[in-house]
Amino acid sequence: MSQRKFTNPERFAIWKHHRAVCYWCGEPLRLLETTIDHFIPERVENNSEELEELRKRYGLASNFAINDYSNWLPCHDRCNNNQAVGNSRGSQLAPSHSEESWSKDLSAL
């Protein structure tokens, strides 16, 4: 369960960055129905061993942060918390965390 409240600009940036598609099911996603999920679950934030293992498994940057754009994914409410890392979709590719593409999207806000 996410503890973080997202602002509308944050939600918009995440939605736009992922081309208005639900990250988990791949279906089109309307901004109004967008919820934000975490690729690496927030509960790992205080477990540095598990975080380190997931970081290696998914090839994430060493400065990867749980609460940062690279870990936030847009999805349907019904898909949120349903597809977390570690279940059958565990082989899902890590989201793009190219700083360059993010700064482009964020500057458009």
User: Which residue ranges make up the site for Zn ion (CB under 5 A)?
Assistant: 22, 25, 76, 79
Given a contact cutoff of 8 angstroms between Cβ atoms, the answer to whether 66 and 40 are in contact is: yes
> Nearer Cβ to Zn ion, position 27 or 68?
27
The two three-digit tokens of residue 40, written as one number: 């690496």
Please name every residue paired with 76 in a beta bridge, in sequence order, or none if there are none: 34
> Nearer Cβ to Zn ion, position 13 or 79?
79
* Residue 88: strand, helix, or coil: coil
> Nearer Cβ to Zn ion, position 75 or 94?
75
CB of 55: closest distance to Zn ion in angstroms? 25
Residue least distant from Zn ion (Cβ): 22
CB of 26: closest distance to Zn ion in angstroms? 7
The two three-digit tokens of residue 48, written as one number: 């540095």
> CB neighbours of 96 closer than 8 A, spacing ≥ 6?
70
CB of 82: closest distance to Zn ion in angstroms? 9
